[in-house]
Copies of this chain bind each other. A is one copy, B any other.
Amino acid sequence: MFLKQFILALFLVFTLGCKESVKTDTIAQETQGQEMVDPLPSWNEGAAKSAIIDFVTKTTTNGSSDFVPEKDRIACFDNDGTLWTEQPLYFQFIFAIDRIKAMAPDHPEWKSEQPFKAIMEGDMETVLAGGMKSVLSILGTTHAGMTTDEFNKTVADWIATATHPKTGKHYDEMIFKPMLELLDYLRDHGYKTFIVSGGGIDFIRVWAEEAYGIPPDQVVGSSGKVTYEVKEDGTPVLIKQPELNFIDDKEGKPVGIHQYIGKRPIFTAGNSDGDYQMLQYTSTATGYPRFGLIVHHTDGEREYAYDRESHIGELDQALDDAEKYGWIIIDMKSDWNTIYP
């Protein structure tokens, strides 16, 4: 249960799908209002894929009663578990653990100081037993007390080198190919795509532009305070402080959407109860049609299978209320023919 608290405190946390432009008559089928070429090749034919294509078509076809002007085509995506894998731990937490290990040689005192001693010994139980104090200590050490440029470099270096314990892939290779196709498909139809994550905004921005084609100003996330200081040589820097600024999770997600985006989304995708309020805020809006999508992790073989009982990415209430709000559930195992690029 303790891991659930992480998402509240953590300043959490590659290739763009190649657009297929082959337009041979043999593979192309023109159906009403649909593309000549399948825009979502990693998605199996079925109710979920049809619902997406129908929605995008009707909201972007001039003259349709459901037409949405381009300026209002806002699409919001959760990140952990929605755009990339989040098991066995949020990748940003793995980054923090790796940073502690990398910093350890300069901190001999950590040999006897918790939670650092336990991290070095790989004793996660003791780390987690330290509760919020332990988490804040790890965060304060790895996400604050440095300039924003210095932090960005540690994230970029980590993303370029670290690998996942189960797949051996780099973490930015564990983004979901079907979701990359969906992001491209929406953008090709005039949608502006945003990340709205419980994870750390500074962590995500470092690699999201290359990984997802989403620029930093379209990333919303949790954040710490930052101060502006001018060094003695006249160089201004931004210093990351060990104080929370904003938690972009649960009720925080609609608040973050308001503060950062300022418009109510037309299309929202998530995968856990942390996305419940964001989906609710989207689906109950009037004026335009709205689309809510939930990625259900059902594929223990190719990825991970979890929902109601999971410490990470718990999906319970949102699963119960999906029908009530008309949210489309993606069954990863049957709806996606490919997971990673």
Contact = CB atoms under 8 A, between A and B. Distances in A.
Interface string A208-229: 0100000111110001001110
A262 B216 CA distance: 5
A150 interface: no
Interface string A131-165: 00000000000000000100000000000000000
Interface stretch (A121-129, A170-178, A277-285): A277-285
Interface residues of A, number: 38
Contacts of A187: none
A217 to B, nearest CB: 5
A226 B227 CA distance: 23
Interface of A: 71, 74, 148, 192, 194, 201-202, 205, 209, 215-219, 223, 226-228, 230, 234-236, 238, 245, 251-252, 254-255, 258-263, 277, 280-281, 284
A262 B284 CA distance: 31
A215 B284 CA distance: 23
A103 to B, nearest CB: 23
A223 to B, nearest CB: 6
A148 to B, nearest CB: 6
A214 B215 CA distance: 17
Given A71-B209, A217-B262, A281 B236 contact: yes
Contact of A280 (B205, B236, B251): B236
A219 B251 CA distance: 22
Nearest to A149: B264
